[in-house]
Amino acid sequence: MILRTAMALLSAALIAFAAAPGLAQEQDSTPAAFAKALASLTERLGTIETGPDIEATDTAANAADMALIEQAFDVLGTPAFPLDGLATFESVCEPINRLSVRHLLDGLSAFARPPGSPPPTPADTGVMVSKVRVLQLRNAARYPDEITVLGGGVMRCMVKHFPALTTFLADLPEAELTPTRLKGADGMRRGVAEALAGFMISLRDPTISPANKARLNAYVAEVAAPLAAALTPSMRAELAATLANLPPTQDAEALATTELVQAALADTTCEGLCRY
Confidence of residue 229 (pLDDT cuts 50, 70, 90): very high
Q: Measured between alpha carbons, how far is 136 from 48 in angstroms, rounded to an integer?
A: 13
Q: Is residue 114 very low, low, confident or very high in pLDDT (cuts 50, 70, 90)?
A: confident
Over the stretch 119-136, which tens digit does the pLDDT of each residue have?
889 998 999 999 999 999
Query: Is the pLDDT at 16 greater than 60, yes or no?
Result: no
* Position 4 confidence tier, pLDDT thresholds 50, 70, 90: very low
Per-residue pLDDT of 63-81, as tens digits, reads 999 999 999 999 999 999 9
pLDDT band at 115 (very low <50, low <70, confident <90, very high): confident
pTM (predicted TM-score): 0.84
State the Cα–Cα distance between residues 215 and 179, nearest whole angstrom: 36
Which pLDDT value is given to residue 86? 84
